[in-house]
Amino acid sequence: MPGKLLIVDNIATNRIVLKAKLSDVYYDVQQAANTDEALKRLHDTPTDLVLVNGHLEDRDSIQFCKDIRTNPRTSHLPILMLCNHQDRDTRLRALAAGVSDILVRPIDHVVLLARLRSLLRTHESAEEHHQRQKTTRAFGFAENQAGFKKQARIHLATPDSASSVRWSAVLKGMVPFKLVPKVHTETLKDISGAPAPDVFVIAVDSAQPDQALRLVAEIRARASTRNAGILVVVEDDHRRTIVDAMDLGAHDVMAFGFDPHEMALRVSRLVSQKRLSDRLRDHVNIGLEAAVTDPLTGLFNRRYALPQINRICLQSKSKRQQFAIILADLDHFKLVNDRYGHAAGDAVLTETACRLRDSLRALDLVARIGGEEFLIALPHTPALRADEAAARLCARIRDTPFRIPGQNTSVQITISLGVVMAGSGFKAKSVEALIEQADKALYDAKLRGRDQVRFAKIPA
C-alpha cells in the first residue's frame, strides 16, 4: 500500500536506516531532523502518516504528538511512535495524546509493515473526511454537526466467559459504551441476530490463536459487521499473531494483554473512527440519493428514470412482454401558483407525487421530470392494464380536492395523461422516441379537454 510517510528523528542514522527499509517497499518517505522542520513539512507537503522518535532531543515527544493531533490541519494523521524502551505509564500517556501505537526498538520490520498497512487503511476515511471539510469551508458551507449519538456497542469476545464478564465489569465505569461480554463460540451467533456492534474486542488464546483470527476474518467478511472496529488483545506480544490479525483486518492490537486503561483509550479511538466512517457513508448515500431524486417530491428525477426505462425495454424484449410509458401533466397548475402562491403549488406537487406513488405497483416507476410533469413506466403491462392504471391515476387526482396549507381551503386539481405502448408486438423504438410519442398523446389529451387519458397512435 503506497503512502507518504514522514520520519521525525534527531538521529540521522535512525532516519536513514528506517527510510531505506521503507523505501524498499515503495513508501514515499520524507525526513525531518527536528520538530520545527517536521511541522514545516506537515504544513507544506501532503502526508499520510508520521513516525516519531519517542526520545526527541529538541522537544518532548508526547507533547509534539499531541500538538499534531490538536492541529486541525494534521489531526487526522496516524502517528506511530518508535521508542528505545517503553513502560505502561509512557504507553498510556502517548495513547492519550493521540499516538496510534508504540513500537519498541529494535523494530521488527514485519510488524512495522503490518502496522503501517493497518493504519493507512484507516487513514483513508479520515483523509476523505478532512478533504470534504476543507471543501465545505472553502465554499462557505458549515459541516453538519453530529446530533444525538446512540450509545456505542462494544462486543467483548474472549475464550472463556469469566474473562469477558470480568473485562466488562472493570471497563463499565471507564467508558460510556454498552459492553456485551461473550465467548468466541457465541460471537457469530450473537451478531447474526442483533444490531452489529460498533467495536469488537477479541482476546487471543495463545494456545489456540487461530480461533480468534478466524473470528476477525469472519467479521470482516460479513456485510453487517465489516465496518465495525476490531481490537485484538494478545497476551505475549506474539509477532506472528499480531501480523496476521492486522492483515486480516484488525484496526488495532494490544500486545501486552488486558489493561483496562489502555483498552479504554484504544476502544474510544475506534468508536470515534467508526462514527467518522459511518458519517462518510451517510454523506455518500445522501449524495447518491440527491443525484437521482427530486428534492421537493422525493420521486426519482429524469437522470434516474431514463436509464431505468431503457432497462425495462431490454427486459421486455428478452421476456417478450409489453410495457407502457405514461407522461402525466397537472391541468392549469399555473393558476394554483398565481392564486395561492408557490408554497401552495409545492404542496400540490408533493401530494400529487404521493397519490401517484400510492396508486402504482412497487415495480412501477414514477418520476418528476419537469415543473408539473411526471413520467411513469409500467413494466410487464399490456394495453388493457395500462388503460386501467392510467384511468385510476386520473381519478385519484380528480376525486379528492387538494388542501392548501395555511389557508383553510381546498382546490380541485385534474391531470392529463398520454400513454404509449411498447415491447412485444410493437415496433422497437428508442426510449426518447417512445417518450416523444407519449408527449404527443398527452398534448392530444389537453386539446380534447384535459382530465383524461389518450393513447399514442403507434402501428403494431
pLDDT digits over 209-264, tens only? 999 999 999 999 888 898 899 999 998 778 899 999 999 999 999 999 999 999 99
DSSP for 49-115 reads EEEEETT-SSS-HHHHHHHHHHSTTTTT--EEEEES---HHHHHHHHHTT--EEEESSP-HHHHHHH
Asked whether the predicted pLDDT for residue 143 surpasses 50, the reply is no
Sign of the alpha-carbon torsion through 289, 294, 296, 299: negative
Of 101-105, 126-130, 392-396, 403-407, the one with minimum mean pLDDT is 126-130
Q: What is the mean pLDDT of residues 279-308?
A: 81
pLDDT band at 366 (very low <50, low <70, confident <90, very high): very high
Strand pairing partners for 420? 325
pLDDT at 277: 81
pLDDT at 125: 60
- 335 neighbors 391 (Cβ within 8 angstroms): no
Of 279-288, 296-305, 389-398, the one with minimum mean pLDDT is 279-288
- CA pair distance 55, 139, nearest whole angstrom: 42
pTM over 0.95: no
Please state which architecture CATH assigns to domain 302-455.
Answer: 2-Layer Sandwich (3.30)
Q: What is the mean pLDDT of residues 163-186?
A: 94
Of 441, 306, 291, 438, the closest CA to residue 365 belongs to: 306
Asked whether the predicted pLDDT for residue 388 surpasses 60, the reply is yes
pLDDT at 195: 80
Task: For the chain, give the mean pLDDT.
Answer: 89
Residues in the chain: 460
Of 135-144, 252-261, 268-277, 428-437, the one with minimum mean pLDDT is 135-144
Q: Indicate the fold that domain 153-287 takes in CATH.
A: Rossmann fold (3.40.50)
- 154 neighbors 260 (Cβ within 8 angstroms): no
Domain spanning 4-138: CATH superfamily: Response regulator (3.40.50.2300)
CA angle 206, 156, 99 (to 5 degrees): 80
DSSP H/E element including 28? strand 28-32
Q: What is the mean pLDDT of residues 174-195?
A: 87
CA contacts within 13 A on the Cβ side of 200: 33
Strand pairing partners for 418? 327, 454
- pLDDT tens digits, residue range 408-429? 899 999 999 999 999 988 988 9
Asked whether the predicted pLDDT for residue 194 surpasses 80, the reply is no
| CATH 3.40.50.2300 residue window(s) in the chain | 4-138, 153-287
Asked whether the predicted pLDDT for residue 38 surpasses 50, the reply is yes
Asked whether the predicted pLDDT for residue 207 surpasses 60, the reply is yes
Instruction: Using DSSP, state whether 203 is helix, strand or coil.
Output: strand
Asked whether the predicted pLDDT for residue 139 surpasses 50, the reply is no
- pLDDT tens digits, residue range 69-111? 999 889 989 999 999 988 899 999 999 999 999 999 999 999 9
10 Å CB burial of residue 364 (0-12, 13-18, 19+) is: buried
Of 12-21, 184-193, 278-287, 353-362, the one with minimum mean pLDDT is 278-287
| CATH 3.30.70.270 residue window(s) in the chain | 302-455
10 Å CB burial of residue 146 (0-12, 13-18, 19+) is: exposed
Determine what percent of the chain is predicted with pLDDT higher than 70: 91
Which one is predicted more confidently, 279 or 375?
Answer: 375
